[in-house]
A and B are shown apart, each in its own frame.
Chain A
Amino acid sequence: MKAWAQFFEMGGYAFYVWGSFGVALLLMAVEVVLLRRRRRRVLLQQSDRAPKMKVFKENETTT
């Protein structure tokens, strides 16, 4: 337990060391999440396209 506490203290440089690694790893993780979301969004838009065009056409004929 004590060894871990000492480890996280980083000899008094905890803020600088964990601030560096924390932000870097967080950004890298966020990038992957954003890319996955973007992919889902693009593919969903793609599958939405066909039915939407149909609806548009139907409206057109009623007016």
Chain B
Amino acid sequence: MARRKINWYKYTSPASFYPLAGKVIPFFAALAAVLLVVGLYLGFFVAPKDAVQGEAYRIIYIHVPAAWMAMFMYLLLAVYAALGLAFNARIWAMMAAAIAPTGAMFAFISLWTGALWGKPMWGTWWVWDARLTSTLILFFLYLGFISLQSAIEETRRADRAGALLAIVGAINVPIIYFSVQWWNTLHQGATLRLGRSASIAPVMLAALLIMIAAVWMYSIAVTLMRVRNIILERERHAPWVGELAGEVK
């Protein structure tokens, strides 16, 4: 029996990854749009208001997906950075560089929506407690990674320096995740926890999970868009990039 062999290694070459990424972007973008519409519809029109927090609790449908995405993308950033250090394929460092701005954006969104949720519920925009402070550090780690990379002229050195920062900073992610269990905090406990039933009504849970999926799909589409730009910029001297220039009018 002949086994069809796909040469996955081939896709670590920017020249072959570029068209592959281009093909899957519309799929993830469409999925993101549909899930976003469904998730917002469920979250705003189907899910009832919270018994304690009233309508303000609806901020959860953007706050939690953004916070999760910010944390998860940082772990991905660290993994890609480590792969970039370990193996000599350029694509890993490009992926790490492509993830960082979107991760930073979601970290900002989680801080922003958290402040807007904290004000009516706790009476304050901000407190220096473990969860909030470690999330702020996450945001600064992203900014640090981005500015460190752009400060170093030589791409390879920039990638390596960024990778070290990314890997060391990954220790912050479990700190954020467990902070509500480890320390006394104003922040409410986790709504969703692995290995436990959720502490909210089924329709609220559905809306939240769909919003999380939407943010996921959005992040994949946007990261692939950015990695394509990075490939074009870094490989601009390659002949195949020169041929692409005819694509744009």
Contact = CB atoms under 8 A, between A and B. Distances in A.
B56 A17 contact: yes
Contacts of B54: 11-13
The B contact surface, by secondary structure, is helix
A42 interface: yes
Contact of B109 (A24, A32, A40, A43): A24
Nearest to B66: A24
B190 interface: no
Task: Give the size category of B's interface with A.
Answer: 35 or more
A1 interface: no
A43 B56 contact: no
Contacts, number: 91
A19 B116 contact: yes
A17 B232 contact: no
Given A11-B49, A32-B225, A39-B229, A24 B62 contact: yes
Interface residues of A, number: 30
A20 B245 contact: no
Contacts of A39: 225, 228-229, 232, 248
Interface of B: 40, 44, 49, 54-56, 58-59, 62-63, 66, 101-102, 105, 108-109, 112-113, 116-117, 119-120, 218, 222, 225-226, 228-229, 232-233, 236, 241-242, 244-248
Interface of A: 7, 10-13, 15-17, 19-21, 23-24, 27-28, 31-32, 35-36, 38-40, 42-47, 49-50
